[in-house]
Structure 1
């Protein structure tokens, strides 16, 4: 990548825990679905034409993991875009799995930026299934939004990132969708949504792993026939 994230991102916005002056929970009305609120608040915090991942990580502190992972995974629902975002998602997942409370981005990732106008466009681009999930998201305490849950989340996200990086037919969407639901639950402190996301992520990763395994097996068989 050249330091710019040009792809339109399917995104959103949450007013909870996004910073000292952006922490008002405005409920879940039709115009304020979680993903839409997240995008709107990020765009409001950064008025420049482009928003760098490093700036977002610094601005949102201990909420940066969930926010960055959510915003980076949303484009993975678009055909051909998953592998572009796999590496930064992998780094964030590993850091979270190791127990870091705030992300530490390498320079080449921190300098990558998102067009502000793309963010604003993304709020309405979520899949219909994701919009359905948003109606049920609200703060709920529990084990999946605890420090232990954060570590489980991190390692699952790292595995999802590997599925996004590795080429395979139809292997990006299912793990990415589950991980987005999981990240949405993390950002909103919603134990139930995070738990559903974990289940969807495990199922999606199992499917992607099976497909990749089949592709590898067919490749080995094809080489055997050729030689």
Structure 2
């Protein structure tokens, strides 16, 4: 018997984002809000996936102070018990660069291919209503590390959020837990970098 029979398997995690962003770019209205709406979802899972991608776009140093805001807002809303994502107007109207988004999505193909092979609905208890606030709080802590201008710490929490968000989209609790574990490691890494930088500064300043 095929144990996976009946499971809905996504052909590609990247394709919906690439198609939607291309169509909206061609129409001249590619924004954060339109991309999320174009994916047909206002769920927290898709929002975390899309906004984690934003933080990985090739942008000038210091841009994380802006790109991390949507994922911070989203995870905060989840932590506070909102049922759906409600992007503030200025964030919803934030314009995206299709070419940079496409390059970032394609650069993540080694990660998404691995996820596509294992994704299936499981560990549903994680997504029950009573657990959403705790899940949102954990994601918010990980997202907060993106907001900190700490050199060398941004990529790992962004990947962690991406993995956790994909798990949420596909209702795969195990993959979401993997993302949370990776996120916890990224928080510890950020703390270690901050402590190291503080110790170095203290040693330099008499």
> Under a length normalisation based on structure 2, what TM-score does the superposition of the two structures give?
0.78
Is 1:210 the counterpart of 2:192? The answer is yes
* Gap runs ≥5 in structure 1: 1-24
Q: How many residues end up aligned between the 2 structures?
A: 195
CA-based RMSD of the aligned residues comes to: 2.8
More helix by share: 2
CA drift at 1:133 = 2.7
Q: Shift in Å at residue 82 of structure 1?
A: 3.8
Q: Kindly report which structure 2 residues correspond to 1:5-20, keeping only aligned pairs within 5 A, or say none.
A: none
For 1:62 and 1:146, the matched residues in 2 are separated by 17
TM-fit CA distance, 1:116: 4.6
Q: Does residue 42 of structure 1 match 2:20?
A: yes
CA drift at 1:57: 5.0
Change in Cα spacing, 1:141 to 1:62, as seen in structure 2 (3 Å) is farther
- Spell out the pairing of 1:155-194 with structure 2 (5 A cutoff): 155-194=137-176
Residue 76 of structure 1 and its aligned partner are, at CA, apart by 3.1
Distance of 1:217 and 1:202 partners within structure 2: 23
1:112 is matched with which residue: 79, 94, 108?
94
Contact 1:39 1:119 in 2 (8 A): no
| 2:180 counterpart of 1:198 | yes
Q: Does the aligned pair in 2 maintain the 1:52–1:111 contact within 8 Å?
A: yes
- 1:44 to partner: Cα distance: 7.7
CA distance in 1, matches of 2:52, 2:153: 14
TM-score by length of 1: 0.72
- Cα offset for 1:75? 4.0
Q: How does 1:30-109 map to 2 (within 5 A)?
A: 32-34=11-13, 36-40=14-18, 42-43=20-21, 46=24, 48-56=27-35, 60-63=40-43, 65-77=44-56, 80=61, 82-109=64-91
